[in-house]
Structure 1
Amino acid sequence: MEKYADIIKIIQNNFNTLSKGQKLIAEYIMNNYDKAAFMTAAKLGETVGVSESTVVRFANTLGYDGYKELQKELQELIRNKLTTVQRISLSKDFSDYENTIKQVIKKDIDNIEKTLKEIDYHAFKEAVEITLEADNIYILGLRSSSFLAGYLGFYLNFLLDNVKVISFGPNDIFEQLLRSTKDDVIIGISYPRYSKRTLEALNYGKEKGCKIIGITDSLVSPAAQYADVTLIASSNMLSFVDSLVAPMSLINAFIVALGMEKKEDITVYFEDLERIWKEQSVYDTNNKNNNSKD
């Protein structure tokens, strides 16, 4: 089973193959997923009038190893749709500072492992090629995704010409995309809760004929619907803070891949930059470990 798919869509796609009892479970989850996400298998069975074993078989039929795995997917779906205040109410595992740091870092590790396991290498290669061939590269990410967009833009400006990070400012987002054409690419970064403005801008770019590269959490996310190529990085969260560690890692890989393609071109460029940085004392030359560009 494709783990990136929305569990509600999985249920809908398999509905006709379910038994009578399983259809009762399916209908209840589709109509009350916010309640079902926190029910035990026994409680869910009791609620819809079937046995606990029927609930477990229902999860197996959908491709899950067990009910707990299905329940986890439901809870992640809920977290992606809840408001910030509602997310806080779900944060019940942070009993102390030690547990908090362990739980949060473990979740980030899980997100990276899931991203690595499910990455589409063909899509990744295609995204690199589209970016290299584009006349102009527009990077779009708003709200919490703006940090990812800024980071990607910072490094791409070292590698490529005509890189523009779209942001809120004196000019409206659509004004910043006004001159975009079919020869350009928009890299749209969008994570739950998906910014409506980002989606509107991607739709605008699509109408202008731009190629769209989506960086998001799922192939069924709103941003993926506009993308010619979609790169998936998991962002499952534990609380009100968005987990952007896996998306950042994916963006790092994307930058490195582009850098390898432009290696010969950028070598001279970086030599000039190093000379300028030295002349202008940009970095602390007394620190032997100082080799970053921040």
Structure 2
Amino acid sequence: MRAMSDYQDLQKAMKRVLPQLPPALQAVAAYFLEHPGKVATLSMRQVAAETGISAGNFPRLAKALGFDTYNDLRRVYSERVQDNGIGDYHLRAGALRDVAVDEGQAQVWSDFREAAHRNVDALFSSNALSRIVQVAEQLSAARTVYLVGMQASLSSAIYAKYLGSMLSERFRIVSGMGGIFADDITDLGEQDVLLAISLRPCSEYSIRIAQAAKARGARVIGCTDSDASPLALIADEVLQVPVKTPLFFDSYLAVTLLLELLLGFMTLQQGDVVERIESIEASRVALGEYWNNKEY
């Protein structure tokens, strides 16, 4: 097996072989998928001490992936320094409150601004232009684009449906209204694409829908916050979104921007989109959907 030098190729290979690895190597691989930044910046012994995994397992994983040494494997992560760990919401809420008490609201304001800039920059550095174009092409070519997002991700799925419907009638949301999901995916098949949005800890129903789509031969595109998330381990294409924020909850700023990027590039690829959008806008005006009270 030839060793891989590209980070995305390596992560895909890691996910592919993970189920076949011995338990100790599975633990190492899962850590690599979830914490590429620590793999890049910590020594092998430091990672072993932090995880409680024997240091001898790290070279074994490197060999299993086709690398001569652990350092060769680690070198692939050298430019990947973002830590994607999960925090506990209640602890994060307490930390936010403590900052406000100790350092004032100005510090909280500054922390939010810096986090927003970091997340936007990280989104573009984690997802190359070629990948965005490729995924947009897959969405454009699909018979139907199914959208799924549960819990906090529901609003993102609805937003994608709203934008997507202006481009094409082929967008369909998996809502599970009334607890019934099967009806929404009755026609899901090999010619379709499922765009799933789920951040850790992932919604069980989002993962189930992704598994069902995969089993039916549909292409699964995962928008998630870690290569080790359950969604990433299922998806054919993974678009990683940074979510770090001073808030007690994960930020959806990068998720929203990613969806706008995908729909924007779909717009470039579809010739009749201008006429469709013009028609929709004309219908909205005719139906009086926009505020037009001249007295204000």
Q: Using structure 2 for the length normalisation, give the TM-score.
A: 0.71
What residue in structure 1 maps to residue 19 of structure 2? none
Aligned to 1:200: 208
Partner residue in 2 for 1:9: 32
SS in 2 for 1:274: helix
> Contact between 2:140 and 2:266, CA under 8 Å: does it hold in 1?
yes
Which residue of the other structure, out of 261, 265, 273, is the alignment partner of 2:272?
265
Distance 1:202 1:24, change over 3 A: same
Other structure's SS at 2:200 match: coil
Q: Does 1:29 align with 2:50?
A: yes
Separation in 2, partners of 1:63, 1:275: 51
Map 1:215-226; keep pairs closer than 5 Å.
215-226=223-234
Shift of 1:259: 1.2
Q: In structure 2, do the counterparts of structure 1 residues 107 and 132 end up closer, same or farther at CA, with 3 Å as the change threshold?
A: same
Distance 1:62 1:226 in 2: 23
Q: What SS does structure 2 have at the residue aligned with 1:144?
A: helix
1:256 aligns with 264
In the alignment, is the contact (CA less than 8 A) between 1:112 and 1:246 conserved in 2? yes
2:176/2:184 contact within 8 Å kept: no
Displacement of 1:190 in angstroms is: 1.1
Shift of 1:128: 1.1
Task: Find the aligned partners of 1:152 and 1:133 in 2 and give their Cα distance.
Answer: 17
Displacement, 1:84?
2.0
Within 2, Cα distance between the matches of 1:90 and 1:223? 29
Distance 2:151 2:48 in 1: 35
Alignment partners' CA distance in 2, 1:183 and 1:62: 35
Residues in 2 aligned to 1:128 and 1:189: alpha-carbon distance in whole angstroms: 15
- Structure 1 position 97, deviation (Å): 2.2
Tell me the equivalent position of 2:39.
none
What is the identity, as a one-letter code, of the residue corresponding to 1:9?
F
The Cα offsets for residues 223-274 of structure 1, whole Å up to 9 and x where unpaired, read as 1111111222211232312111111111111111111222x31222233223
Aligned counterpart, 2:147: 139
The answer to whether the 8 A contact 1:141-1:188 is kept is yes
Deviation at 1:7, TM superposition (A): 8.9
Are the structure 2 counterparts of residues 88 and 2 from structure 1 closer, same or farther at C-alpha, using a change threshold of 3 Å? Answer: farther
Cα distance change of structure 1 residues 24 and 223 upon mapping to structure 2, 3 Å threshold: same
Q: Does the CA-based 8 Å contact 1:277-1:283 persist in structure 2?
A: yes
What is the percentage of aligned positions where both structures have the same residue? 16
- Give the match for residue 240 of structure 1: 248
Distance 1:155 1:63, change over 3 A: closer
Aligned to 2:188: 180
* Number of equivalent positions: 243
The residue type paired with residue 26 of structure 1 is: V
In the other structure, the counterpart of 1:56 is: none
Please list, as runs of the form range in 1=range in 2, the aligned pairs for 1:40-55 lying within 5 A after superposition.
none
Alpha-carbon distance in structure 2 between the residues aligned to 1:12 and 1:246: 19
Give the aligned partner of residue 23 of structure 2: none
**Matched-pair contact (CA < 8 Å) for 2:33–2:226:** no
Determine the structure 1 residue equivalent to 2:62.
none
TM-score by length of 1: 0.72
Paired with 1:62 and 1:166, the residues of 2 have a C-alpha distance of: 37
Q: Deviations over 1:21-68 (max 9, x none)?
A: x65533320139xxxxxxxxxxxxxxxxxxxxxxxxxxx989679xxx
Q: Which residue of 1 aligns with 2:124?
A: 116
Do residues 227 (structure 1) and 248 (structure 2) align? no
Residue in 1 aligned with 2:56?
Answer: none
In the alignment, is residue 87 of structure 1 matched against residue 110 of structure 2? no
Q: Which residue, 269, 277, 284 being the options, matches 2:291? A: 284
User: What RMSD in Å do the two structures reach over aligned CA positions?
Assistant: 3.3
For structure 2, list consecutive stretches of 5 or more residues without a partner in the other structure.
1-5, 12-28, 37-42, 54-73
Larger Rg: 1
What are structure 1's unaligned runs of at least 5 residues? 14-21, 33-59, 288-294
CA drift at 1:220: 2.8
The verdict on how the C-alpha distance between 1:99 and 1:283 changes in structure 2, with shifts beyond 3 A counting, is same
How far residue 207 of structure 1 moved from its aligned partner, in angstroms, is 0.6
1:104–1:219 Cα change, 3 Å: same
